[in-house]
């Protein structure tokens, strides 16, 4: 089968090929992401209006949509232009009025003739103690009742597009639907009692009951699964092709890793040992590794990454680790270089601040293999950076980097293995949606001796007590972070808030104990403040969220988050994870401005009740939604038209398993079901993946 099947041609023409949609409406439809008839077909109604006739309006809770037979009474024309035209009507039990603004009086007399019966349907409400219906949606003779739909679908709209446009266009599409060969596994169809595709899409647009609009109805569920299956199949194809692409076997002998492990004052956790084994096993294969390492705050991802990089060095190659910020890159160097030196490994950093002769010397050492492990920021992408034999690329905090950058880094070596790390625990359904092309290792336990962090909610009205508590903590030799609030998505206002807080704390606690770090400082300025805080010269570090990820100062045991209600759950959990890294009992103070909204209260209470990042991620998913949990801009999350990751996450696992099985048994999609799956991919606009299969 070459190219899109003919049966789908009509769905991929211009939307103007539909009767009633001209260029102007087509332009407006673009705001709904509707460009073709297929896009319109996958834009389902978001609710329905029930227009089932009633005998009388009496006793109906108002406002409400009502369809009722009435006898037309007196017409009360408007005497002034700014007054409405009114018509008295009676449903046999009670009277009410029809109201018209800017009336066409002849049309009203013709359609609402005095003394005759009519069926009317529209929104009935109370105004000035009287029931009235303004501009009924429908009016017809009693023998034309069938012309009023009992269930009327309500589509999402934009300016310049009406419900009538959408209904008329979908009617045309539904009447011309061609049956498509089934692409869903029969056992899955049977398990959920799903209809075939054509029936499902028809019921999606024209439900037979008010409940037919709900996402858990068989028709809607099936259509959601089609989208999810298509998406998981594209990831499985990408994974299959990357596994077919040649890698280099990097088999370490463990000699350097042993020296590093022997120098540690603790033993790795079972989860770390398991993850290290999974990574080493991948690296020893002839195919390229593409693995995600995810773990909770403080679960020890950095040690796992180091031992992966050491395996690359043991096998004669080099490794690179990329961090999202210079602060984090420098911290990795400070933490990992002493361990690397124990094994005679040369570990260097490369960031934007390396200039001139120093930078050239590093680049030369990298190119001739004298630097074994390089740690840097996105500066390692530059063309001037070449490796002698790069085997492994580790990307820290994947959600800060786009997929494109991941591929750029992989292109730096002949067949580079890629290990991606994230400290943001991700619910399983989202991990499959976002990283379905990757194998996943999970660090789900904390190193021994880690104490839980006591978390309390404190009103901003008690700010003075918080400052006094900090004074006492400083006297005891302890250190604290004070994170300033996000202000209206504005760097300038964020900075002003942080500067004001630092100034107030300096007045209260002393100039020499309070430092400030924010996003507008130069790298060198940030480093100076961080170093002063790390070595104890500064006792309080006031910061914007630049310290959210990875910063590690064991003596800091207090975290104050000002206006905590403005932060997301995962962000609060990341910030709290900056303390609790030393031997002291640690605490996190969530400063909030009352009164708290319901969602903000739920967030803060969830953080207070649990230290488990995976539980927090599940709660965050329910409260905020998938895009926000991963950060929409770079999440790579599929933009589904029908499927909803929050409520239909169970379908993701089924589709993931099925897609992997398909690739294992029918990698060319050439079987009868494989050809049907190609049709699904074409229907969902994933043509490039079919092309990848043909050239892969």
pLDDT band for 633, please (50, 70, 90 cuts).
very low
Give pLDDT tens digits for 57-103: 999 999 999 999 999 999 999 888 888 999 999 999 999 999 999 88
Sheet holding 347-350, edge to edge: 347-350, 373-376, 318-322, 390-396, 417-422, 290-295, 439-443
CB atoms within 10 A of CB 576: 25
- Residues 589, 610: contact at Cβ < 8 Å? no
pLDDT band for 629, please (50, 70, 90 cuts).
very low
Q: Can you give the pLDDT at residue 49?
A: 93
Average pLDDT over every residue of 507-531: 86
Which architecture does CATH list for 454-610?
Answer: 3-Layer(aba) Sandwich (3.40)
Question: What would the CATH number be for the domain defined by 52-148?
Answer: 2.40.50.140
Q: Do domains 255-443 and 454-610 have the same CATH topology?
A: yes
Pick from 132, 133, 82: nearest CA to 103: 82
- Three-state SS annotation for 7-27: HHHHHHCCHHHCCCCCHHHHH
Average pLDDT over every residue of 532-537: 89
Sheet holding 479-483, edge to edge: 454-459, 587-592, 556-561, 479-483, 540-543, 514-517
Q: Can you give the pLDDT at residue 635?
A: 40
- Residues 305, 321: contact at Cβ < 8 Å? yes
The DSSP code sequence of 433-468 is HHHTTSEEEEE-SPPTTPPPPEEEEEEGGGHHHHHH
Q: Can you give the pLDDT at residue 81?
A: 81
Give pLDDT tens digits for 188-243: 999 999 999 999 999 999 999 989 999 999 999 999 999 999 989 988 887 787 77
Q: Can you give the pLDDT at residue 599?
A: 83
Rounded Cα distance, 166 and 81, in Å: 33
Flag whether pLDDT at 403 surpasses 60: no
Give pLDDT tens digits for 133-185: 999 999 999 999 999 999 999 999 999 999 999 999 999 999 999 899 999 99
Fold of 255-443: Rossmann fold (3.40.50)
Q: What percentage of the chain's residues is helix, strand, coil (to nearest 5)?
A: 45, 20, 35
Find the largest Cα–Cα distance for the chain: 102
Pick from 318, 518, 346: nearest CA to 417: 318
Rounded Cα distance, 563 and 568, in Å: 11
Average pLDDT value for the chain: 87
- Residues 109, 182: contact at Cβ < 8 Å? no
Q: Can you give the pLDDT at residue 28?
A: 94
Give pLDDT tens digits for 21-60: 999 999 999 999 999 999 999 999 999 999 999 999 999 9
Q: What is the DSSP letter of 412?
A: T
Average pLDDT over every residue of 384-408: 73
Instruction: Return phi, psi of residue 14, to 5°.
Output: -70, 150
Flag whether pLDDT at 628 surpasses 50: no
Q: What is the DSSP letter of 680?
A: H
Q: Can you give the pLDDT at residue 623?
A: 67
Where is average pLDDT lowest: 224-228, 400-404, 599-603?
A: 400-404
Pick from 241, 283, 247, 244: nearest CA to 413: 247
Distances (CA, A) of 185 to 182, 219, 226, 658, 677: 8, 16, 11, 8, 10
Distances (CA, A) of 576 to 40, 277, 422, 586: 45, 30, 16, 10
Pick from 36, 40, 43, 44: nearest CA to 9: 36
3-state class of 195 per DSSP?
A: coil
Structure tokens given for 504 = 């107030």
Ranked by mean pLDDT, the top range of 189-193, 323-327, 428-432, 507-511 is: 189-193
Ordered by start, the domain boundaries in the chain are 1-47+158-214+672-696, 52-148, 255-443, 454-610
Find the length of the chain. 696
Q: Can you give the pLDDT at residue 405?
A: 54
- Residues 632, 408: contact at Cβ < 8 Å? no
pLDDT band for 401, please (50, 70, 90 cuts).
low
Give pLDDT tens digits for 360-390: 999 999 999 999 999 998 778 778 889 999 9
């Amino acid at each position: 089968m070459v190219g899109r099947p003919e049966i789908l041609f009509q769905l991929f023409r211009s939307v103007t090929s539909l009767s009633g949609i001209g260029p102007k409406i087509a332009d407006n439809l673009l705001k709904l992401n509707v460009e073709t008839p297929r896009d319109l077909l996958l834009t389902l109604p978001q609710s329905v209006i029930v227009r089932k006739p009633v005998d009388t309006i009496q006793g109906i809770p108002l406002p409400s949509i009502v369809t009722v037979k009435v006898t037309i009474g007196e017409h009360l024309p408007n005497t002034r232009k700014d007054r409405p035209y009114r018509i008295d009507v009676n449903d046999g039990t009670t009277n009410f009025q029809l109201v018209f603004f800017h009336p066409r009086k002849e049309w009203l007399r013709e359609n609402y003739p005095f003394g005759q019966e009519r069926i009317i349907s529209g929104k009935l409400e109370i105004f000035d103690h009287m029931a009235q219906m303004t501009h009924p949606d429908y009016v017809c003779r009693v023998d034309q009742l069938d012309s009023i739909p009992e269930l009327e679908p309500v589509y999402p709209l934009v300016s310049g597009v009406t419900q009538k446009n959408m209904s008329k266009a979908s009617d045309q599409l539904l009447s011309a639907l061609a049956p498509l060969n089934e692409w869903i596994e029969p056992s899955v169809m049977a398990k959920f009692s799903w209809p075939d595709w054509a029936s499902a899409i028809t019921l999606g647009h024209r439900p037979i009951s008010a409940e037919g609009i709900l996402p858990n109805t068989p028709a809607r569920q099936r259509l959601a699964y089609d989208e999810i299956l298509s998406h998981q199949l594209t990831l499985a194809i990408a994974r299959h092709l990357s596994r077919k692409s040649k890698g280099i076997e990097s088999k370490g002998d463990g000699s350097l890793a042993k020296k590093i492990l022997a120098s540690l004052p603790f033993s790795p956790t079972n989860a770390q040992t398991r993850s290290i084994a999974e990574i080493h096993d991948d690296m020893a294969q002839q195919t390229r590794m593409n693995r995600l390492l995810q773990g909770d705050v403080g679960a020890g991802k950095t040690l796992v990454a180091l031992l992966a990089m050491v395996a690359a060095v043991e096998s004669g190659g080099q490794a690179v680790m990329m961090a999202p910020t210079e602060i984090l890159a420098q911290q990795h160097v400070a933490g990992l270089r002493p361990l690397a030196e124990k094994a005679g490994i040369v570990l260097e950093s490369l960031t934007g601040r390396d200039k001139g002769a120093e930078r050239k010397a590093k680049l030369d050492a990298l190119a001739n293999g004298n630097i074994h492990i390089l740690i840097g920021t996105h500066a390692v992408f530059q063309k001037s950076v070449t490796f002698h034999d790069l085997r492994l690329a580790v990307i820290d905090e994947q959600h800060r980097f786009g997929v494109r950058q991941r591929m750029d880094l992989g292109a730096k070596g002949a067949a580079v293995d890629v290990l991606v790390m994230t400290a943001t625990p991700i619910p399983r359904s989202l991990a499959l949606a976002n990283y379905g092309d990757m194998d996943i290792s999970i660090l789900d336990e904390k190193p021994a001796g880690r104490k839980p962090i006591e978390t309390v909610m404190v009103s901003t009205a008690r700010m003075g007590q918080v400052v006094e508590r900090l004074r006492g903590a400083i006297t005891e030799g302890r250190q604290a972070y004070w994170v300033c609030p996000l202000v209206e998505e504005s760097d300038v206002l964020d900075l002003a808030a942080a500067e004001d807080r630092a100034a107030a704390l300096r007045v209260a606690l002393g100039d020499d104990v309070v430092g400030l770090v924010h996003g507008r400082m130069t790298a060198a300025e940030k480093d100076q403040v961080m170093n002063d805080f790390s070595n104890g010269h500064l006792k309080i570090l006031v910061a914007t969220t630049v310290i959210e990820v990875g910063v590690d100062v064991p003596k800091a045991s207090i975290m104050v988050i000002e206006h905590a209600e403005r932060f997301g759950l995962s962000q609060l959990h990341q910030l709290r994870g900056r303390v609790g890294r030393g031997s002291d009992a640690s605490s996190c103070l969530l400063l909030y401005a009352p009164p708290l909204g319901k969602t903000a209260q739920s967030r803060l209470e969830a953080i207070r009740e649990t230290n488990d990042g995976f539980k927090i991620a599940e709660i965050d998913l329910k409260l905020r939604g998938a895009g926000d949990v991963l950060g929409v801009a770079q999440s790579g999350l599929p933009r589904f038209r029908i499927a909803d990751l929050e409520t239909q996450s169970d379908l993701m696992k089924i589709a993931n398993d099925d897609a992997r099985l398909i690739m294992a048994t029918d990698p060319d999609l050439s079987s009868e079901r494989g050809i049907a799956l190609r049709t699904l991919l074409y229907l969902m606009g994933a043509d490039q993946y079919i092309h990848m299969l043909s050239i892969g």
